[in-house]
A = this chain, B = another copy of it.
Amino acid sequence: MALIVQKYGGTSVGSVERIQAVAEKVAKLHKNGTQVVVVVSAMSGETNRLLKLATQINDRPSRREADVLVSTGEQVTIALLSMALHKLGVDAISFTGGQVKILTDNAHAKARILDIDESIIVEKLNNNHVVVVAGFQGVDENGNITTLGRGGSDTSAVALAAALKADECQIYTDVDGVYTTDPRVVPEARRMEHITFEEMLEMASSGSKVLQIRAVEFAGKYNVPLRVLSSFEEGEGTLISLEEDNMEDALISGIAFTKDEAQLTIRGIPDEPGIAHKILGPIAAANIEVDMIVQNISQEGHANFTFTVSRNDLEAADEILSKVQQQLGALEVISNSNIAKVSLVGVGMRSHAGIASKMFTALGNEGINILMISTSEIKISVVIEEKYLELAVRTLHHAFDLADDAES
């Protein structure tokens, strides 16, 4: 008997009517003889409503208590969805993260799943129940309620699918799959039928917001086939799984992009060993994550050092860097938030040279200057001026024929 884990996000369960629609989808699958575990988020808006109450009371609410508070959101949804399933004649039973139990570390608001006790779920599934589990939440070893952070319901679903050795983990969302790039930027962007975990991971870390990075990592680690589908439309969605011989023979699978980064340059530093650590050490100590890094030799034994951080961290990073500049006797610090990062992703890249040069040529032909470059085995990312972002994405989508199913 097939076992499917389905996950429905906040928009998909955002009202009584939508919860009823989800129940009908689940009931249909269950009546076809499939064992179903459903993971749900809080109804859309609920988490924000609760956090607003919290901040009215305490501008810096304790993370432990914030987890106690917001975890009620999913608890409401599991109860309501179970009731909706009962109404359709389906035996259903709800479990909170603590009841299942989804054991996490004690990092409140961003906990990591350590273990899941699947025994009660298996018992209920074998007893012909649909099992409805609260996503996003767990308990630490002392029974404190934890949450996995925003979007953590995807991770809950994948972790449950892994623990239960499910045949597939289906993530229902408001888009009908993973696209070659954002259709709002490139209207001819094409839904992919199949991409690999690696590609999805690079897409997600390069700006695609369809799936949470941690959920994809988890799925890859435990080889859980993952499918992204629309809650509101019929369709096959996009399957994310291991690379297979019969996969689409694409050089490039997709183009991801983000405007969430900003660039910092410290000019005229002494070009000596250990200088990178002197610059990035204080940045790391402030818990600021650095993405791309480039060091250029400049004239007279002095170098320029450039890196990118999240735009939210720009101000803090700028302050730190100004102190570093004084210590090192560097010339100046330049910060720039008008940048964007565009990434080509594809496992086909591994065995094909020339992708980078084709990319640079295409952008150059449009007069788009490349500010920074970084590469991985299956990804090439470039930083460009933000104003060229849409043009760059359209240009690359066309240059690599991504709209054309047969060719790509």
Contact = CB atoms under 8 A, between A and B. Distances in A.
A38 B68 CA distance: 16
Interface in A278-327: none
A269 interface: no
A201 to B, nearest CB: 35
A78 interface: yes
8 contacts: A16-B56, A19-B57, A57-B87, A61-B86, A64-B93, A65-B82, A65-B94, A66-B79
Interface stretch (A69-77, A167-175, A346-354, A362-370): A69-77
A151 interface: no
A43 B71 CA distance: 17
Interface residues of A, number: 36
Nearest to A73: B72
Interface in A1-48: 16, 19-20
A-B pairs, 6 with minimum CB distance: A69-B79, A72-B72, A58-B83, A68-B79, A65-B79, A58-B87
A72 to B, nearest CB: 4
Contacts of A62: 82-83, 86
A50 interface: yes
A356 to B, nearest CB: 51
Where chain A touches its partner, the secondary structure class is helix
A53 interface: yes
B79 A54 contact: yes
Contacts of A98: 98
A167 B143 CA distance: 29
A53 B69 contact: no
A231 interface: no
A84 B57 CA distance: 6
A94 B68 contact: yes
Contacts of A71: 75
A80 to B, nearest CB: 6
A99 interface: yes
